[in-house]
Structure 1
Amino acid sequence: MAQPQVIVIGNEKGGAGKSTLAIHIVTGLLHAGRKVAVIDLDLRQRSLERFFANRAAWLKANGHELPQPIVPDMGDGKALHKADEAEQLAWFEAAYAEAKASADVILIDTPGGDTVLSRAAHSRADQIVTPMNDSFVDFDLLGQVDPVTLELLKPSIYSESVWEARKHRAITEGRQVTIDWIVVTNRLAVAEARNRRRLEERMAKLAKRVGFRVGPGLRDRVIYRELFPFGLTVADLSNDIRPVSVSLAHVAARQELRNLMQALGLDDALAPLDAAA
């Protein structure tokens, strides 16, 4: 029996847009007919879990149908947050086993920080997707630069975490394991061209050194925030499902999602997006 693909959305810094990225990847895959299970490891906030709860409630209230992910028993997030690491890991193993038995894709949204659950998720990843804001503040988590010359000095803490995950997979599986790591420039803003160029140059150097790809992310668009309370994304909009007015910005947002899915190699999700465009 084929093993499900495991996609981990990871970045130890908060505010990079992990959950926004996660919900769009999941809905893109759902519309492609994939069986997707979601595990939300942000025990306190649970944005991913709440998004799909909103989706179910809105669809029921409005008499519409849309594909839904498989959501394993997530337990009491607040209680788990206060539990010891052994109890947290036991809960994760149970949720992961439930997802593995019923899905062909498992997407895990990790919290902003180094936790035992985040490390466990990364060690199971086939693909790690890391959103990064367009600044050296976020880059500092991936690589350290010289404060005078801005030259790349060495990988930083999150790059080391991914290296540890790769090493763990190689040891436990007894073979060389390739985890596809892609860093996406998320929430792009209007930035000074010189600073952006400097950042892109350091990203390219670090990518070669630690082994990740650079891909397109999602801009900071109003439409993403407008649709969240309904549990919807731009992939869900149609003539029947349109809780907000549609504009050319929505067409651009759908193209962003298409570019993201293509960069992730999730080509089977492109046809539904093209058909709905």
Structure 2
Amino acid sequence: MAHIIVVGNEKGGAGKSTVSMHVATALSRMGHRVGALDLDLRQRTLGRYSNNRAAYLQSEGLELPSPVYMELPEADPASLAPGENAFDHRLSKAVAELEAQSDFILIDCPGSHTRLSQVAHSLADTLITPLNDSFIDFDLLAHIDSDGDKILGPSVYSEMVWNARQLRAQAGLQPIDWVVLRNRLGAQQMINKMKMENALERLSKRIGFRIAPGFSERVIFRELFPRGLTLLDLKDVGVKQLNISNVAARQELRDLIKELKLPGVTPSF
């Protein structure tokens, strides 16, 4: 069976689609077969990223390892079982089709609570939650006191993950390996940064997730989107010398892949 990686939280702007495309492409470049789904049916950022990649590679006559992106299939009402949810049917059909040809299936979830996102979380073998280094984003995981020192209780997204874990346990599936990424970290050792680090450490032990380094804030990520490229593709498209920022970003991606501890994966880029 394919190992399912879900990238999700319930807040936009945390870098989910950037993480999704880079992880999926990195696995593809390491020789793994990767399928990809975008469950944000409105914005479709990962879908647009994938379409941009296909169009650019075709226009340049290039062949680069890439995930196989699939649109979520429509559901014929006549094919639904009595009481079956159409969104459940569409996601199950897509996963079943990709599973036959994939080692990994990466699912990018919307920055909101939807039925599709809820079901996808229950399918996750590995759950990646990018989080901006801010107590605004932290509030998605847990409520905290006014000083930022005491955790008052889990928040809405943590509760959804808990429910997904319960569903997997009832089905006899392996527990979700939940990895929270500290994304868009600043270089300065600020008081807020240290408080965030301490709060995440305490919360990780309380509700059961691992903490991994994500990506720093870099212009290169926004520049790559129109061509559907990732940091790993730069030399293949004619960039002969990577600048210091790009080299550092590649190392961040390598560190991330290593920290995910995916089955059969050893970073080789």
Structure 2-normalised TM-score?
Answer: 0.91
Q: Name 1:6's counterpart in structure 2.
A: 4
How many Å apart are 1:149 and its aligned residue? 6.2
Q: Does 1:166 align with 2:165?
A: yes
Structure 2: how far apart are the matches of 1:33 and 1:50?
23
Counterparts of 1:183-198 in structure 2, within 5 Å, are 183-190=180-187, 193-198=190-195
Q: Secondary structure at the match of 1:8?
A: strand
Q: Name 1:79's counterpart in structure 2.
A: none
AA in 1 matched with 2:17: S
Q: Name 2:253's counterpart in structure 1.
A: 257
Q: Which runs of 5+ in 2 are unaligned?
A: 75-83
Structure 1: how far apart are the matches of 2:175 and 2:93?
25
How many residues align? The count is: 259
In 1, are the aligned partners of 2:148 and 2:199 still within 8 Å (CA)? no
Structure 1: how far apart are the matches of 2:247 and 2:219?
13
Q: Name 2:40's counterpart in structure 1.
A: 42
Q: Secondary structure at the match of 1:30?
A: helix
Quickly say closer, same or farther: Cα 1:40–1:244, change in 2 above 3 A. Answer: farther
Q: Does 1:213 align with 2:172?
A: no
Structure 1: how far apart are the matches of 2:85 and 2:188?
44
Quickly say closer, same or farther: Cα 1:44–1:172, change in 2 above 3 A. Answer: same
Structure 2: how far apart are the matches of 1:58 and 1:206?
43
Counterparts of 1:94-113 in structure 2, within 5 Å, are 94-113=93-112
AA in 2 matched with 1:195: N
Q: 1:222 aligns with which of 214, 219, 224?
A: 219
AA in 1 matched with 2:13: G
Q: Tell me the alpha carbon deviations over residues 38-97 of structure 1, each in whole angstroms, 9 at most, x when there is no partner.
A: 010000011111111111111111111101222234347xxxxxxxx9222222121111
Structure 2: how far apart are the matches of 1:192 and 1:32?
35
How many Å apart are 1:104 and its aligned residue? 0.9
Quickly say closer, same or farther: Cα 1:73–1:134, change in 2 above 3 A. Answer: closer
Q: 2:229 aligns with which of 229, 232, 248?
A: 232
Q: 1:23 aligns with which of 21, 24, 43?
A: 21
Q: Which runs of 5+ in 1 are unaligned?
A: 77-84
AA in 1 matched with 2:190: A
Quickly say closer, same or farther: Cα 1:86–1:12, change in 2 above 3 A. Answer: same
Q: Tell me the alpha carbon deviations over residues 224-253 of structure 1, each in whole angstroms, 9 at most, x when there is no partner.
A: 111111111111122x41369742211111
Percent identical: 47
In 2, are the aligned partners of 1:28 and 1:269 still within 8 Å (CA)? no
Q: Name 2:80's counterpart in structure 1.
A: none
Q: Which moved more, 1:198-207 or 1:187-196?
A: 187-196
Structure 1: how far apart are the matches of 2:188 and 2:154?
24
In 1, are the aligned partners of 2:29 and 2:66 still within 8 Å (CA)? no
In 1, are the aligned partners of 2:17 and 2:108 still within 8 Å (CA)? yes
In 2, are the aligned partners of 1:29 and 1:269 still within 8 Å (CA)? no
Q: 2:49 aligns with which of 27, 51, 65?
A: 51
Q: Secondary structure at the match of 1:57?
A: helix
Quickly say closer, same or farther: Cα 1:211–1:111, change in 2 above 3 A. Answer: same
How many Å apart are 1:34 and its aligned residue? 0.5
Structure 2: how far apart are the matches of 1:149 and 1:21?
27
How many Å apart are 1:159 and its aligned residue? 1.0
How many Å apart are 1:142 and its aligned residue? 0.5
In 2, are the aligned partners of 1:129 and 1:184 still within 8 Å (CA)? yes
Q: Secondary structure at the match of 1:102?
A: coil
Structure 2: how far apart are the matches of 1:263 and 1:192?
23
